[in-house]
Amino acid sequence: MSEFDLIRNYFTWPASREDVTLGVGDDGALLRVPPGQELVVCVDTLAAGVHFPDETPADALGHKALAVNLSDLAAMGAEPAWATLALTLPAADEDWVGAFSEGFRSLAEEYGVALVGGDTTRGPLSITVQVMGFVPRGHALRRDGARPGDGIYVTGTLGDAALGLRHWTQRTTDGPHVHALLARLMRPVPQVAAGLALRGLAGAAIDLSDGLLADLGHVLDASGTGAAINLAQLPLSDAFRAVSGDAPDWSLPLSGGDDYELLFTLAPDMEARAREVLPVPFTRIGTIEASPGIRVTDGEGQPFSPSRSGYRHFN
pLDDT in tens, 128-178: 999 999 999 999 999 999 999 999 999 999 999 999 999 998 888 899 999
What's residue 175's pLDDT? 92
pLDDT score, position 30: 86
Residues of the chain with pLDDT > 90: what percent? 73
Q: What is the pLDDT of residue 9?
A: 66
Q: With a threshold of 0.85, does the pTM exceed it?
A: yes
Domain segments of the chain: what residues?
A: 3-136, 151-297
Q: How confident is the model at residue 15 (pLDDT cuts 50, 70, 90)?
A: low
Angle at 85 between CA 79 and CA 27, to 5 degrees: 105
Band (110; pLDDT cuts 50, 70, 90) = very high
Give the whole-angstrom CA distance, residue 303 versus residue 294.
Answer: 11
Residue 314 has pLDDT above 70, yes or no: no
Mean pLDDT of the chain: 91
Q: What is d(CA 303, CA 306) in angstroms, rounded to the nearest whole number? A: 10
Rg (alpha carbons) of the chain, rounded to whole number:
20
- Residue 100: is its pLDDT beyond 70? yes
User: What percent of the chain stands above pLDDT 70?
Assistant: 93
Binding-site members for substrate are 51, 258, 311
Distance CA(214)–CA(308), nearest Å, equals: 9
| Whether residue 5 has pLDDT greater than 80 | no
Q: Which residues are annotated as a binding site for Mg(2+)?
A: 27, 44, 72, 119, 207, 210
Q: Summarize the confidence of residues 278-283 as an average pLDDT.
A: 97
Q: Does 94 or 199 have the greater pLDDT score? A: 199
User: In terms of residues, how long is the chain?
Assistant: 315
pLDDT for res 27: 79
pLDDT of residue 67: 97
pLDDT tens digits, one per residue of 113-123: 999 988 888 99
Decide if pLDDT at 313 tops 60: no
pLDDT digit string, tens, across residues 299-312:
888 998 876 555 45
Nearest Cα residue to 177 out of 235, 253, 237: 237
Angle separating helix axes 58-75 and 94-110, nearest 10 degrees: 30
The confidence score (pLDDT) of residue 132 equals 97
Q: Class of the 151-297 domain?
A: alpha beta
| Binding region | 27, 44, 51, 72, 118-119, 143, 207, 209-210, 258, 311
Give the other-Cβ count within 10 Å of 163's Cβ: 26
- For residue range 223-271, what is the model confidence (pLDDT) as tens digits? 999 999 999 999 999 999 999 988 889 999 999 999 999 999 999 999 9
Binding residues for ATP: 118-119, 143, 209
Q: What per-residue confidence (pLDDT) applies to 309?
A: 59
Could you report the per-residue pLDDT of 258-274, keeping only the tens digit for each? 999 999 999 999 999 99
Measured distance CA(177)–CA(180) in Å, rounded? 5
> Thinking of the domain 3-136, which architecture would CATH place it in?
2-Layer Sandwich (3.30)
Does position 179 have pLDDT exceeding 50, yes or no?
yes
Residues 6+ apart with CB under 8 A from 127: 45, 46, 47, 61, 65, 85, 86, 87, 88
Q: Beta strand pairing status for 151-155 and 262-266?
A: antiparallel
* pLDDT single digits (tens) 42-60: 999 988 777 777 788 999 9
